[in-house]
Amino acid sequence: MLRQYAFTAALLGTSTVTGTYWSGWHGRGNPWQWPGPYPSAGGWWLEQSQDVLSTLYNTYWNGTYWVEDPSILQWAAAVVNTFVIDTQRTFTTAISQYNGNFRGSQVNAQQLQADIRKYYSDIETFYTSGEDVNQIFDAAYDDAQWVVLEWLEAIKFINQYDAYSKSSFGQQDIAEFAHRAHIFYNIVQDQFNTSLCEGGLTWNPALAPYKNAITNELFVSSSIGMYLYFPGDNNSDPYPSTTYSNRTLPPLPYLAPHDPLLLNNAKEEWAWFKSHNFTNAQGLIVDGFHISDGQTTCDQRNEMVYTYNQGVMLSGLRGLWEATGDTSYLQDGYSLINTVINATGWNAHGYGQAGQWAGLGRNGIMEDYCDAPANCSQDNLIFKGAYFEHFDLFCEPLPTQTPLVKGLTHLADRNLANSHSQNCRSYAPWIQHNAYAALNTRNTTSDIIGEWWGASYVNRTQTPAPKYTHPKPLGSVDIANKPWLLSQPPWRCDGQGDCESYVGKVLIGERRRRSRKRQASEQVRTVETQAQGLSVVRAATNSVLNRRAYADVVGGGGR
């Protein structure tokens, strides 16, 4: 356990603050910009990644699937698996960059190799037995794309690990992983529709049209991911599993690697998204647009702001640069990141200002609106993790020597690679600040990370804190945390698809979650909250590990 540290009102300009979050901070710099006690210790952060991942598995993994009550949502299970996969990519980076050895740390290459093989076996099991692909196949368009990204990341991991180890580890699985990505991308690849709002994808074909941010951000990221990493697939079976019952689909068409259609989808989608006013006055991405009856334009904007909407586009923008060499995509990414960092209060001018709600958090720590009042839905419990997943993918070093896709991937010149590394290194204290705050929400009985990371800064538990609740933006409807609104206008059923059944399942799941929550003494700690903790801790780990990679690509060297 971290020792407690107390500070006086005179030092902080406010009431006395105590708690494990402050352990090791001795008054240097601004407290809301403190990256924790080990900002340069890659070994320490690796140990935290190992520990958080181990706790995730020991608590929630039953050998096949993630177990909790109520059951994890299927799209969230795909996201959790993605975090696990990319943690293996981080372990591979640690081995290849440092041979897994860090001074003053228990981490070593042999241990990381063992972790990689253990968790990869579980990833294979989840693919074959755990993932409920039938349910996701019939769900909303955003759900399908989380699955696409999940198995593309698995392919990336295999290729990264084998390039380092000069082995064929996992190669036998690539065709199967690619086929699942292909099946689920096929659901959305032709859904960009200009008849409403001049373009974009609707969220859910079972509900009235809603052009929401997350579905369209995912279309950029999934399309460019398929273009860059998909190895091709000639398996014509269009069904997600042998048990899928509605067998009326035509054969799945062959999709070649690096098909120009995939790149065009990503470019067209981003151009549409950027030109259709998805950001509020602060620059934060709002949730989406409804179309009024009798209209074809997106004329009703939902002003609700969620953390994951700010990040999923980032991996897509990074991929668009890799495919085209157009640096405007990177510049758009830096702008989105800086907007979010500012919206957490990180750049506040004083302690009092830092503690005020800044649009997406306070005290430099990312929050969703539901965190402090402890009324997050099951969906929302993984949003911050999705943000840091895609943030981390954006900030991987730019390739300057060996293209990821021979003949297609653009290579950065050294000035651009250096500029990218400078930008991403400047974010490291903020990432570590958030990761350390998340780690300090662990309880003493289970070691599970809580939902409200900011609680550790203000010396609160995960119990509801009305004092820190902030009103939602004017003109917002919090559909992620109030799913019963799906049965009301403007999300009303419009006769398309099995709307009543879909809404009914959502409401049953939410009632079960809230019933369990009423019996708890604090916010529910779940597989989702632990997984999103893994995501931010992994990002903090990479913020240190990438220093070597940044130095290598720009010719610096050194740790």
Dump pLDDT digits (tens) for 406-426: 667 888 999 999 999 999 999
d(CA 210, CA 491): 8
Give the model's pLDDT for residue 557: 42
pLDDT given for residue 558 in this prediction: 39
Residue spans of the chain under pLDDT 50: 1-18, 495, 513, 515, 518-521, 556-559
Per-residue model confidence as pLDDT tens digits over 159-209: 999 999 999 999 999 999 999 999 999 999 999 999 999 999 999 888 889
Q: How far is CA 10 from CA 15, 25, 351, 475, in A?
A: 8, 16, 12, 40
Class of domain 5-59+79-106+116-167+174-238+250-554: mainly alpha
Q: Which two tokens stand for residue 247?
A: 């067998």
Other CB atoms within 10 A of residue 281 CB? 7
Amino acid at 249: L
At residue 198, the pLDDT reads 97
Residues, the chain:
559
Angle CA 225–74–286, to nearest 5:
65
- Give the span between the Cα atoms of 539 and 551, in whole angstroms: 18
- Nearest CA to 436 out of 5, 17, 33, 59 is that of 33
The pTM of this model reads 0.93
Q: 234: closest CA among 251, 258, 248, 219?
A: 251
Question: Which residues neighbour 197 within 8 Å (Cβ) at sequence distance 6 or greater?
Answer: 211, 276, 289, 291, 296, 297, 298
